[in-house]
Structure 1
Amino acid sequence: MEKNIRTSKKINLALLICLVGFPQISETIYTPSLTEIAQSYGIPLNIAQMTLSIYFIAFALGVFFWGIGSDYFGRRKAMNLGIVVYILGCILCFVSKNIELLFVGRFIQAFGASTGSVTTQTILRDNYEGNERHQLFAKISAALAFSPAIGPLIGGFLGEFYGFRVVFAFLIVIGMILLFWCLRSLPETGNISSKRLNSKQVLSIGKNMLCDRYTVAFGVLIGIFNGLLFSYHSEAPTIFIEKFSFTQSHYGFMGCAVALAAILGAWLSSKLLKRKTPNLIIQSGIQLSLIGSLLLCVSSFLVLPIYMQVLVYILGIFIILTGIGMALPNCLSLALSKFSEAAGTAGAFLSLGYYIIVSICTFLISLLHTGSILIFPLFCTGLLLISMIFLKLAK
């Protein structure tokens, strides 16, 4: 099979950052409104939290479909069609009158949005190699973690002053802007004629990836790190709005701390690449996150004034997410190094696997939900210890 050819057209990096970020904005922008959604539909909060799990199940299926599709009919078409599906899902969420219809809308929304993740990563793998690719993934990962951070900030204000339906109206507008931008500026980066794989070849790639310990280990690590990030977004409204008495808009400002942690982690990763291997940076990131989760566990048992408890909790979250920001870009960059000849299809299998892990994580945190501020740090500590085991398997 021929190797991907690089496009002669300049890729708009700002567009790629927006495309890789909008799926996560779509996931987190309505989290400040979870309590309002539960009240509006007359359901328990943990049922409202299930919309996160549904989102990631659909996302997992979507990245598989669009990843293979990007090899079959091209990166540009896969991106544009996915955004159209995303807009339709947002419209359904906007008009939903019951939780069942909201579930369906979120499923369609996530299925379409997933093209922004898998197709953008494939475009990056088409055009960059080696340390240049590591550096670029670090920059993109800053945006990847920054995008769900600004989601609660926007969603908090829109939800508090205008209601959760306006949040979905905002996403419809975002989808239309991205579609117009892609139609004007996104080039085709893959050699489509050499990428049309038959079902036997697709299954062969999947089997080879599943049998490769290195690829599986990095796929699990990516799933765990993203699972922790979105489990935080699932639990955070309860912690800050119900326990610490934040308003929706005040909670939205927590996105600033999340964004700073993501930027700091990606920056540290980029700097450390000059003198450390990606594996060592991943290990350092996990260790840093463990320090943060243990700090949260300890603080949960201390009798502190409320303002001190809030500050310590924010500090612990900041440390956890900084560590994830260090580790995640290196995992993304290394995961498919053995399958570069069919980047779209391999990316589809990889993304399918790790988003299933993300959906499992968000489902588990909703099942474990009791309203206690201790649940998230214990959950986080357990997953980080598991990630240390899988990092050893990747060596």
Structure 2
Amino acid sequence: MNKKTISTLLAVSLLMFPQLIETMYSPALTSIKNHFSVTTSEAAQALSLFFMVFAVGVVFWGTMCDVIGRRLSTLLGIAICIASATFCYYSPTFQGLLYGFGACAFGAAVGSVCTQTILRDSFEGASLTRIFSIASTSIGLSPVIGMLLGSWLTAHGGYTWVFAAMVIMLSLLLLWGGFALPETKPNHIKRDSLFLVANKMIRDGHIWYIALMVGLANIALFSYYSIAPFMFEHLGASVKFFGNTSFVLAAGSILGSLLNIRLIRKHIRGDIIVMLSTLMMLAAGLGVYLLQETVWFFIPMALVSLSFGLALPNLFSTALINYRNHLGTAGALLGLFYYLIIGFGLDHAAHVGNLAMTLLVCGGCSFVLVLLKLFTAKTSKQTSENATTS
């Protein structure tokens, strides 16, 4: 293809679909629990499995981006996702559904790593931050779409209707991508060994900071989708009520992204914006703790979504500035790091089953990490200035 830049609408759709799949599945948790006669923690296990397998998929597809190209990798991943969702629809056992949903996560990983690689091919610096902010604003709508659609489908046809809808939507996305998705892979790309890039990144403190911060932000947000359905069930609220709470979360996410764009235009440093986001997460944890015995505990979750929309564009835009010669591989490894953190974190959160505690721990750890980052940066600057003057 001659066109070398992806349309914003297609890029947003590709970034949205993994989160859309996850949020569509969340309202179906109670249906799956009752249909297969499994425990609450077993039903929620699929969400942590999703992120763990997603991490493996990110490494695979990120590497394939540099081998067979961004376009073909993306289309193959969506095709695998369609086949896996179809398998889930027909699965007679809970174990089979878990395997199918895991395979769906493997294919869905292209929506994250391949799309981010395409965007990084085309933009950098402040332009890339603005693009990620626009994408985050749009992605903020996916919880509304996913949870409303998932809750409606679950209420009328159970979990099988959810997977049927996934197959239809992913098939449409595959057709759209087949016609409109460009190939942005540079003609002369540096093909370093996966192990060489991994060795460099493992020793890079900035990479670990990004991975931990992104992981904690996602654990805070997605723990709501794995724990809240059972909290609402315990409080006597319907699955449709849970779906309607997505409006509050989406409003927070969109507001956070719009606020981030405004702060960037005012030349506020990214680290300061991220610091603000951690304080909001702590406030959300306190709010959920105070309201957890009522159905209104979802309202403080808007602050978690707002925090998410503030932090992630600033984290992602600076994540791979030293790895531009191997964005596909580096992006894959970064994804592996933070998706494994998300997967294990959500698995632990599901077993504990305490949403407020999860938010407070994530917010506290994030706050400490930002303080360490600012302190390290200040120390390095002072050391450099002293070396220059002497």
TM-score by length of 1: 0.91
Q: What is the alpha-carbon distance in structure 2 between the residues aligned to residue 15 and residue 203 of structure 1?
A: 32
The one-letter amino acid of 1:268's match is L
Partner of 2:386: none
Deviation by residue 1:196-239 (Cα, 9 ceiling, x = unmatched): 44xxx221111111111111101111111111111111011012
Q: 1:127 aligns with which of 117, 122, 126?
A: 122
Deviations 1:318-344 (CA, angstroms, capped at 9, x unpaired):
122212221111111111112111111
Preserved contact between residue 90 and residue 106 of structure 1 (Cα < 8 Å): yes
For the 8 Å contact 1:73–1:192, the answer to whether it is kept is no
Confirm or deny that 1:391 pairs with 2:373.
no
Shift of 1:256: 1.1
* CA deviation profile, 1:4-31 (whole Å, cap 9, x unmatched): xxx8534211111110110111112021
**Equivalent in the alignment of 1:355:** 339
1:105-124 mapped onto 2 (5 Å cutoff): 105-124=100-119
Deviations 1:68-123 (A, max 9, x none): 11011100011011011111110111001111100110111000000011100011
- Residue 78 of structure 1: aligned partner: 73
Of 285, 297, 312, 2:277 maps to 285
Which of the residues 331, 348, 358 maps onto 1:379? 358
Give me the CA root mean square deviation: 1.5
Quick check: 2:277–2:306 contact (8 Å CA) kept in 1? yes
Q: How many residue pairs align between the two structures?
A: 372
Q: CA deviation at 1:193?
A: 4.8
Give the secondary-structure state (helix, strand or coil) at the position aligned to 2:133. Answer: helix
Q: Does the alignment pair 1:346 with 2:341?
A: no
Per-residue CA deviations over 1:219-262 (Å, capped at 9, x if unaligned) read 1111111111111110110122332x222222211111111111
Q: Is the aligned partner of 1:209 residue 2:230? A: no
2:218 to 194, 211, 226: 226
Unaligned runs of 5+ in 1: 1-6, 302-308, 370-374
- Give the Cα–Cα distance (whole angstroms) in 2 for the partners of residues 73 and 147 of structure 1: 29
Aligned AA for 2:359? C
Question: 1:252 aligns to what?
Answer: 243
Secondary structure in structure 2 of the residue aligned to 1:188 = coil
Q: Which amino acid aligns with 2:242?
A: Y
Note the C-alpha offset of 1:129: 1.2
The answer for the alignment partner of 1:304 in structure 2 is none
Partners of 1:72 and 1:192 within 8 A in 2: no
SS where residue 14 of structure 1 aligns?
Answer: helix
Letter in 1 for 2:106: F
Following the alignment from structure 2 to structure 1, what is the Cα–Cα distance between the partners of residues 314 and 141?
17
Match of 1:69 in 2: 64
Q: How far apart, CA to CA, are the structure 2 residues paired with 1:355 and 1:11? A: 25
Please tell me whether residue 97 in structure 1 is matched to residue 88 in structure 2.
no
Aligned match for 2:308, one of 307, 321, 324: 324
Map Cα deviations across residues 272-308 of structure 1 (whole Å, 9 max, x no partner): 112201111010111112112112223448xxxxxxx
For the 8 Å contact 2:3–2:182, the answer to whether it is kept is no
Q: Specify the code of the residue in structure 1 equivalent to 2:357.
A: L
Note if contact 1:74-1:192 (Cα within 8 Å) is conserved in structure 2.
no
**Percentage identity across aligned positions?**
32
Say whether 1:183 aligns with 2:178.
yes
Determine helix, strand or coil for the equivalent of 1:338.
coil
Alpha carbons of structure 1 residues 192 and 80: separation in structure 2 relative to 1, 3 Å: farther
CA distance in 2, matches of 1:320, 1:223: 13
Distance 1:142 1:325, change over 3 A: same
Q: Is the 8 A contact 2:223 2:358 kept in 1?
A: no
Question: 2:252 & 2:335 partners in 1: Cα distance?
Answer: 24
- Whole-angstrom CA distance in 2 between matches of 1:195 and 1:230: 36
- Hey, what's the Cα distance between the residues in 2 that align with 1:379 and 1:354? 17
**Which residue number in structure 2 is paired with residue 306 of structure 1?**
none
> How much does 1:366 deviate?
1.4
Higher mean C-alpha displacement, 357-366 vs 145-154: 145-154
1:335 aligned partner: 319
Q: CA deviation at 1:61?
A: 0.2
Structure 1 residue identity aligned to 2:219: G
Q: CA deviation at 1:195?
A: 4.5
Give, as a single letter, the amino acid of the residue that structure 2 aligns with 1:361: G
CA apart distance, 1:359: 0.4
SS at match of 1:29: helix
